[in-house]
Chains A and B, each alone.
Chain A
């Protein structure tokens, strides 16, 4: 496994696009988070906003770039034919995929940590100016606060799981455009379907299995009891999606010709 890890690390590290994408993940996440924090005001006491979740809005955008990074990590090899060299040099295919997953998760965790910390910091600086003050029931955002720490750390994990999910899908699909389309449809279209349905039981069910809705439950710090799933259970749903995608991708990688 060490050799495989080293090979995958070299491949990703030496691609010019990787560093750029990691930078874009951080920039876009922080930018949208800051804009969302700046756009929302809390003029009166007891305004019903979730400050921690608000300051982490950028994850909604950052996840698209994370998915892009993950899809490119595998489909780039298919489009250029490098996959054949890779598999000749490292014939244990599942190990190759596992190594890719580890490297990707590591990179995403690193970029995600920076992005989330900067987003929370932006929220901490911007939100009090918009009326999110202790007088209005919103203490300063702080990672020393249990739920806020959970929201922040969970958001980093969320991004890593999105990377793994995308890697699994792209390994199964192989074509880059189709895989990114599928992943983004899963992330962005499924949440809108929930509002299409009028039956509350179906709404809850869809919410519980949607990777974005369930996964981002980890960011919620208010009205926890009204969530269909607890925050960590929600992240577990996304983890299940990622595992299923990786297993499916790994299986197809083993069974098919490259």
Chain B
């Protein structure tokens, strides 16, 4: 009698922990040559398009027929590009003090689009964000710290400081019958603004802390008026935004200075004025002073600048990378269904939800790393090339740049998970790819290529998974700067992380549905 010992493998039984599942899925991904090539292609096409875009964008400045060096865009205390052009009537103030003035009237002129070509069409009027009032500024250098209390064309009294900050006071404009008194006081580096309708009862508008404000500053009256924005349709479907010359003239009197103020006459500066070819200033401001009444005329703006290219413009090619990533992520699961490999996979790893989690983790990680490399190289090389080609770029803080790069990679990774989940739901690649692209890419295309009007475009980018593109927006929208804030211009209706959260929500929903169907259906 012989005993037959059944065959037993020498190999120890493997564990089926999550790490093993991850390793299995990563091996599957890594060893399909087409997928590795696809991912590399996604990165390369993103970089290549960014570089081509940067190489093809040239910018130069000219005065009439003569080409000149482009003026350097001033940078505010916060590091952002700013417009800093205004007419300033000022004295020096050392230490604490205050300025009070009465604004009596604001009038001005606005240039409208030419009715007869070549004939300037100028009407009288004041644009909504025309400003005049009292100002305390570090120096007359463009971009230096300031706080100002002002009356605006149609946004009432405002206290603004350091370009980006804006606090609303009482609404309403000024006229001879109802003038407005404005007072700005300095105490250390804290500036406080007050307004009054009668010169005796004062209301506080706001305070501003200007860190590092030197002991001696400039104090005085200012006026400035930003360009009038006209948005038109471009020939190939885009929009053209044009800012036209406007000017404001404010009559101010009852000027009272307190503190250690320099004696002698007022200094006059047309801060930030540019000169024409013949050396005369272009659209100059001015002041007429008679018996304590100042009639100040100004052109320009004290606000964050929007002229220039945002860094994320280099990343437009990431949309092609996104399409490749969607195809790869869908195939990562549908290929298993097509070849029957899914049955082997589920025998080896019967925990279906865990298998899906492992697959999602692997595709998300692979996409994130690929996207991170692609976005980092594109932004770094692209912005360098754009600068070298003379393009003005809107400066952003390193943290914002990091958010744009990492956020783009994260968005791609979330989109990959979304596509993978759709692949599980449909089990067919074409249906899953079409659904993913229609939900993520199409809304973006409809919103940014001016197929839809502005409101429709904004709703699309709030409600669809394409909302995540908002993570790329590096320059915020400012309520106190008139601009054409459309998706086409790179302004999204949702805040960056809120937009990404919408996409994450869709991905989570799809993943949940995928897990449910996976556990319910036979493979």
Interface residues of A (CB under 8 A from B): 36, 39-40, 48-49, 57, 60-61, 64-65, 67-68, 71-72, 75, 79, 176-178, 180-181, 184-185, 188-189, 191-199, 202-204, 207, 213, 223, 226-228
Contacts and interface: CB of A to CB of B under 8 A. Distances in A.
6 contacts: A178-B327, A181-B323, A181-B326, A188-B323, A189-B441, A193-B316
Contact of B323 (A36, A40, A189, A196): A189
B455 A191 contact: no
B498 interface: no
Contacts of B330: 177
A-B pairs with lowest CB-CB distance, top 8: A177-B429, A181-B327, A226-B235, A196-B316, A39-B456, A68-B434, A185-B323, A176-B430
A67 B326 CA distance: 17
Contacts of B324: 181, 185
Interface string B314-351: 00110110011011001100100010000000000000
Given A60-B442, A177-B327, A68 B53 contact: no
Contacts of B433: 177, 180-181, 184
Contacts of A48: 233
A147 to B, nearest CB: 17
Interface string B47-78: 00100010011100000000000000000000
B440 to A, nearest CB: 10
Given A60-B442, A177-B433, A204 B233 contact: no
Contact of A64 (B236, B326, B434): B434
Contact of A36 (B428, B442, B448, B456): B456
B238 interface: yes
Nearest to A53: B451
B476 interface: no
A42 to B, nearest CB: 10
B430 A72 contact: yes
Interface of B: 49, 53, 56-58, 233, 235-238, 313, 316-317, 319-320, 323-324, 326-327, 330-331, 334, 338, 428-431, 433-434, 437-438, 441-442, 444-446, 448-449, 451-453, 455-456, 459, 488
Nearest to B428: A176
A184 B236 contact: no
B446 A207 contact: no
A197 B327 contact: no
Contacts of A227: 235-236
A184 B441 contact: yes
A215 B441 CA distance: 19
A201 to B, nearest CB: 11
Contacts of B446: 57, 60
Contact of A192 (B316, B334, B428, B456): B316
Contact of B437 (A57, A72, A188, A203): A188
B430 A193 contact: no
A197 B236 contact: no
Contact of A202 (B49, B56, B237, B448): B56
B434 A196 contact: no
A180 B452 contact: no
A178 B451 CA distance: 27
A196 B430 contact: no
The residue among A64, A67, A202 with the most chain B CB atoms within 10 A of its own CB is A64
Contacts of B431: 68
A64 to B, nearest CB: 5
Contacts of B449: 191-192, 194-195
A193 B49 contact: yes
Nearest to A208: B236
B430 A71 contact: yes
A178 B35 CA distance: 11
Given A64-B438, A64-B442, 8 more contacts: A177-B430, A180-B434, A185-B323, A188-B441, A195-B488, A199-B56, A226-B235, A227-B235
Contact of A195 (B56, B238, B459): B238
A36 B442 CA distance: 14
A40 B441 CA distance: 22
B445 A57 contact: no
B233 A196 contact: no
Contacts of B331: 177
B442 A228 contact: no
A242 to B, nearest CB: 19
The residue among B56, B236, B433, B441 with the most chain A CB atoms within 10 A of its own CB is B236
Contact of B445 (A65, A176, A192, A226): A192
Contacts of B488: 195
A149 B417 CA distance: 43
Contact of B434 (A49, A67, A192, A228): A67
Contact of B451 (A57, A180, A228): A57
Contacts of B53: 196-197
A202 B433 CA distance: 30
Contacts of B444: 192
Nearest to B331: A177
A180 B429 contact: yes
A81 to B, nearest CB: 11
A19 to B, nearest CB: 15
A177 B323 contact: no
Contact of A188 (B338, B428, B442): B442
Contacts of A202: 56
